[in-house]
Structure 1
Amino acid sequence: MESLFEQLAELSEEERVQRLDVECRDDLELREALEKMFRAMDIEDQFLVSPVKAAPKIVLPQQLGEFELLEEVGRGGMGVVYRARQARLGRTVALKVLSHSVLQTTRQLERFRREARAAARLTHPGIVTIHAEGTVDDVHFFTMEYVAGPSLDDLLRARRHLEKRQWPVESAALEHPAGIAGLIAGVADALQAAHDAGVVHRDVKPSNLLMAPGGMLKLSDFGLVLDQQEASMSYAGEVFGTPHYISPEQAEGRTEEVDRRTDVYSLGVVLYELLTGSRPIEGESAIEVLRGVVEREPRAVRSVNRNAPLDLAIICEVAMARRPSDRYQSAADMAADLRRALHLEPILARPLPLARKMARWVRRNRSSITAASITAMAVIALAMTFREAARRLEIAGLVASVDDYLTMDDREVEELPALRNLSAAVVGLGELTSALSSSDREALEKALRHLDAATERRASRGEEEVLEAVQEPRGLEPWRTPTARIVRGTTVVLEMNEIRRQVGLAELVIEDHADKRWEIDAPGGVVWLQEFDSLTGIPGPAIQMGPSPARFSTPPGHYLVSVRVEDRIVAEFDRIAWVTSDAFRLSPPSVEDERANTDEMVLIEPVPVTYSAEDGTVAHLAGIEFHLAPYWIDKYEVTNGEYAEFVKATGHRPPLLWRDSANWDPTLPKTPANYREDWDELPVVCVMPSDAQAYAEWRGKRLLTYAEWLYAARGPRGRIYPWTDDRTVADYLGNCNQRMVPTPEVTPLLTMYLGAVAPARSHPEAATEDGVYHLLGNVDEINGSLFITDSMEGHFECNPKERFKSGGSWLAGSFKYTLPASHSPIQDGPEFVTHRIGFRCARSQ
């Protein structure tokens, strides 16, 4: 029957009826069973794998009302999704059309409309926004927010089938447990918002989670929604969902038990797949998978991937508990535990009791239990009460686990699986103390002594690895510790402490050589974290750290912290977390602060680009394709007038050029209160990188990375002058043609500055095609990237005290600078500032 069901499932309804007439002519019972299965399953939404026969092509006009259909971006059992252009509003949308092949009943049409209505009620940054619903020429559709990124399913497939260098850049967030925890916590937040509105999704799976440009997963496709504000459309025994991600109550058609905890289960399955690379239940057909969900127990996360963090494994296990009452009771509870794990805080969830795990093991392995053992267990059950028999059997198994451990060699006794098994045995025996015999108690005491010694030895080696990593020579990147070794060593200590905590042993302490604490207080905002790539200086994938106030820890590194309100960035912080750094306590401007805007900024939307070393491109970026996320850049260099507002508002020290000195112009004002307004439009100079960074953060912005500066200046075609693609140009435009003047001992710095600098808004003829002024010439510009040098031996080195500066100042023409060759380092300190160095700001989109 299963084989025939699979064949019929690939047919249209009309073809299916004809085939049933033939196959079941003489077997009415078989036909009735098959028809019941098809009534119980909306089969076209059930299969995860691609069907053998594709859904029929929907023929539509290029124009559907005010929407111009541009390309097909998705296809499913209920319809087709197009990328479309809404001419009236000039925006790109996703447009979902109900397929003619399923428009056969009013029930199908109502389900399609219900999807739009339910999703339209939900307002959350992690849920795809619904715009409108309509019908044109009997074509039913609705429009929604277009998410340009890939789905989580796309990323998982790429990681399974492509070489690492071919993985989409968005998949980098899946490489680290912290990234996984942040992504799934964000999805849990979205589910909680839906649940609060009375909506149960019922089809949470990777293909319905879309990666937005900001690094957040967005929940989509509410086609199987259970809307508590509307009458149920489900029949008793009806199965909804995708087999691999379905909950046991869904798989068994227990529709009355489907609630928010059903979505929690499915999200747990997604987390399982991210942590292990595989789905918990596999099968050769949908029916086999559904049966497996009901009857089989998945392998434990850490038996599939021993490197999965213990806390995340426990969170996954609790979310996927077979009984809804054993799961997280809300998506919010799951999100909170994920963020506790992310912030290295104790989670609230606890593993399922050992007795229940043993019962699950028996169910999973009952085929391997011999007839003799069954008989023996029956005899014992007859001799004593069932409870006593079960208790003695459990104790015997736990003592056997202790004995097995004591027979292991020196190497095996400190392996994590052995320690976990011993810990489970100790916990189990401890819970049964009153029933232990003297020999059982002796086994328990012996196990505790061995567990204490073994975990302490292993934790000591983990701490040694951290110390060695911190102290080892770092010729390639002297500013940065070997993060992988630090994380590995710290993880070992944390795992040993978790084992010791479970059995009541004192926790071991690791010295604070690794993780650095962050505290971000931005009322109303959500905090995101990105680590700068140590070579390119490009920020990596964004990891959501949670709503403010946010508390979390990171290994040493160079990080970008951003604060978002809805989809708008209101503050960004660039920090180097060095091993000796104190905790970072950051309080951005108010989210309503008028400074947090993009006035007089230009949006740059980069495409992947490769710049040649032959142009003078800095060695660590030459010849590689690098990808930049969209960003905003100031059209003009920061002026004295703008910087004076900052100094007056914050009390920050004024630039050195504004202060009196023995060698400087005696008319120079000593305080901003004496500031001369005729300097307002000139670019500010004589500032250190830390000054520029402080100003940028006060504005709710940040400094440009060098890669961003380079792309804004050179563009996708790799021009070497901002104003032209002609590489043979002889004349420099803009303020590039000043000459060197006598040294400061002869000519005061202020006089040199005023004689050479041009207003920030001058020389439009030298601007880029995007309208950015003075990227070559006028003043050098401090960037946020750490300066990297080539050691001439194929290695790159960087120093956390040095940043890039670029642009060549008003002397660019004298030195024949081009854009790729106009960079040099600047250190943070008053002795390194000059009258030719200023800056401009940026902001992530």
Structure 2
Amino acid sequence: MNECLSGRDFTVLLDNSASAEKITAWKRHLRICDSCATQLLRTQAGLVSIQKAKVKTSSVVNVSNEPDNIGGLEPNVQIGDFRIEKRLGTGGMGIVYQAVQVSLNRRVALKVLPPGLTLNQESAVERFHREAQAAAKLHHTNIVAIYAEGEENGTCYYAMEMIEGQSLDQVIDDFRAAKGDNSAPPDFTSIEKGGTGEEPDSAESVRSDTKTAFSLSRGGSLQRHFDTIARLIADVADALAYAHNKGIIHRDVKPSNLMLGKDGRLSLMDFGVARMLEDQGITITGSFIGTPHYMSPEQIRGGGDKPDHRTDIYSLGVTLYELLTLRVPFVGENREQIITQILGKEPLRPRQLDDRIPVDLDTICCKAIEKEANRRYQTAGEFAEDLRRYINRYTIRAKRSGPVDKIIKFVRRHKVPVAMAAGILLASIIAGVATWKYFTSRWAQERVIPEIRTLVDKGKYFEAFELSRNAERFARGDPGLAALWPEFSDTMTIDTTPGGARIYVQRYSSPGEKWIRLGKSPTGQIRLARGLYRWKLTKPGYATVEVRRPTSNRPVNFQLYRKDEVPTGMVRVSGGRFKLWLNGMSHHEIELDDYFIDRYEVTNKQFKEFVDSGGYREEKYWKHKFLKEGIILSWSEAMQEFRGESGGAGPSGWRNGKYPEGQDDYPVGGISWYEAAAYAEFAEKELPTIYHWSRAGITSGRYSGTILLHSNFNQKGAASVGGYEGMGSYGTYDMAGNVREWCWNKAGDNKRYILGGAWDEPEYKFVVPAAFSPFDRSTTNGFRCVKYVSDSAVPEKAFEDIVFETRDYSRESPVSAEEFLLYKKTLYSYEKDALNEAVVSVDDSQKYWVHETIVFDAAYGEERVIAHLYLPRNSSPPYQTVIYFPGNSALFLHQYHAGGLPDYLLRGGRAVLYPIYKGTYERNSGLQSNRPDRSLSYRDHVIWWSKDLSRSIDYLELREDIDHEKLGFLGLSWGAALGAIFPAVDDRLKVCVLVGGGFYFEPALPEVDQINFAPHVRIPVLMINGRYDGALLVEKSQRPMFDLLGTPDKDKRHLLFDSGHLPREHVNEESLKWFDLYFGPVVQKEAKQTE
């Protein structure tokens, strides 16, 4: 039926006294007629007497036309805790006011059910309360919050969040007007609008500068425009997912029920309508009180095709469609035409209306508005996830439909006779092949390269590698793809001595993955994703080698040893010169020969052999004086110290000489240093020196903290040896965590070192040397042993006492402000002579930037500073500029290369200046370490580095294409540590990002000590660190530096990520956000101008 219901029809329908066919026809009409559906609600509530005349299709129901007993509340009238300020809007089921909650002095939107609406209708009040209670169950950022509900003098009300802004349909109307677009859908009903979803009495009552928050300007960046749309819809999809998980379906998602606040937040309103209608036993939903453009096919069909949560996904998809194209998918002269199209016609894809719309957004939108619910996103969460994958430039889950999909839809919709099935199948195959070739090629060419770049920027080399390998199948030889490979992969040749070994690798971060066989040694060139791997090499007759190694672009050779050359249960460790990478000990250096160390900690079962063999009764195993609190004990006296819980000889946690049942392979605990040394003697081994233990267990560099992610820390007990996958560089397990391990060396005060940390300790204990009385028998004390290839080859230094030097910054104070100013004036200032600058080369071959190499006079000696200036192509001068200070690898490389260049800043539109600081690259000065010491050489270098930085700023100030007021600093690792000094010396730096920084533990002369400068850093500072940084500990290094920075608390931030020394993921994103926050976003050129 096309005609609207008469007053009598409403009465008959509510009495359920009409024929089944008539009621079915009326219900079908109510699904598509807003006026009749609204009139039905009002009739049910007893609001009006039934009109005999038919309600015309174009009629608009407005409460203000009703009898006087439904008059509005005057300003300053108080109802409950709320004082009325003004009316915002009216609607079929209430009036909305702007009000103030008196007790909390906050502005709210107050929805009121006037007394006239409740006359002799208790059910109307019940429905109103139920609406408020339904919405009040939902607490989500993107759902309008319900604060309170109540009733006073017969007037029911509830208070909700007041959103200053516009409804989304108003925003869309504004953009249509700006575009001159007349494709707005017909206004079939009084769609609820305004600050709370009701019809506004005047546009001024709710309109505000939402367009700024929305950032939807066709004159601005198209990419940002579409990203903003995706973000807003993803936020609403999250809100729907939350509601669906609570068992609530909205059923009326449309732009007029979405409020966009000034803060850019899009909020969903009116959750109570669907429940209110459903509770009346009428099988129509709240969506029917709206325009039919947003209704899903199953809503329209009704009957047994009962809508579920996926109807909200469809409606939100239509909203996305309208935001992208500024028109709805289907338009018609009347509702019946629109309904017919929704049920039986495929909409134009958004890109057919505007080819500027990104392909991925087009694909996401079309999946959301599939006619068949099981072809849409199955959850709102999936919808949100795909939108965010688009925003982050990841591969979306949705697949673009092609000819095959269209054929399938046609078959399902029109029920093609079975006789045509063979022809359709053949056509499907042909179309499928064509579609496959076209879209996979397009995917590889147009989407994969930007996505790979995003993955590389986030340090996700494995993911970039897999994506590139897949894409290469369809775009083999593509120069753009080929140019990316070196950025996330390494090409290696692998050999063994002797050759013929089978070689396997496994990602270190994924120990559960299947081992990948690379072939037999020697291999040809093998390409691997850049990163850390577990390597396994096997050859008959030889001991299996399992080690941890990162990839490189150099040939690798592994030495194999015959099985009889490697003691059972031990691994061979390569010797060489190295530093102790324990906190406070990096100044200790030694050269070692090869040696063997136990793969696992000594177990209960192994130690039981010592006990059962009379280990506590045989004095020959106990070679060291028993010195306790300055008194030397006899052997028999000492043995009384080494008793278990029952008094028998053995570790402190054993009873009657036995360990807990089922713990054969657990590490022995409760062991004193003397007991560990006696067992080593029994096993014809030794306790490792602190050097030998560290060589096998601790590595420096990028991957130093990865072992911590796979080790037993912060737990309730020990685990079986090897139960955690934290493997060291030479194939040892559990050197990080589980039980801490006794070492040979004394620490002074009759203490012995015990290293690695224990199961009940935090991760940073792995690299913090601990020392205890050799009589200490804590349950967390264990050990492992070593065998030296030749005793005579072990240097005496390895066995010497080591005094642990560190700094406790909680006990230190900076120098006075006067002394700091004296340092700054006498040591860091310089004569600003002419720079004598020159641009020595310009490289404009790069796609995204121009590279200038510059030289200018240093502020000391007669040296020249080299600097590399990178200017972005995608923005216009004057450029915001970031000065970069690298990690310590720059000290050991003698030729500049841009491998560490923070190119994400350039892609974001900022210039980068990379000075060659004294001692780095071509300006090598022989400095061997970046770590502080009390030498004049170190002091001079810090001052030189500071002056190089300041002279670089002098140079930038000569250039008109640089914004002199927007100069930032980015320090990485070493550079981040020095970030506690440089901004205090040169106040021309305005914003600072420090990645992997902290206070050093080694002491320095006061004029170059970080602690004396940090309080004078006043600019905004973002510190980004790894929670498991073994070099600069969170509590002892990172936080002391952060806390001492003189920056106001509101302008400094410390971000911690689950990583080792240098977090990779999120660094680029967070850095850009920080510079955007204080410098303002960079206005980038349109993509086609730079592509």
Q: State TM-score, norm by structure 1.
A: 0.45
Q: State TM-score, norm by structure 2.
A: 0.36
For the pair shown, the structure with the greater C-alpha radius of gyration is 2
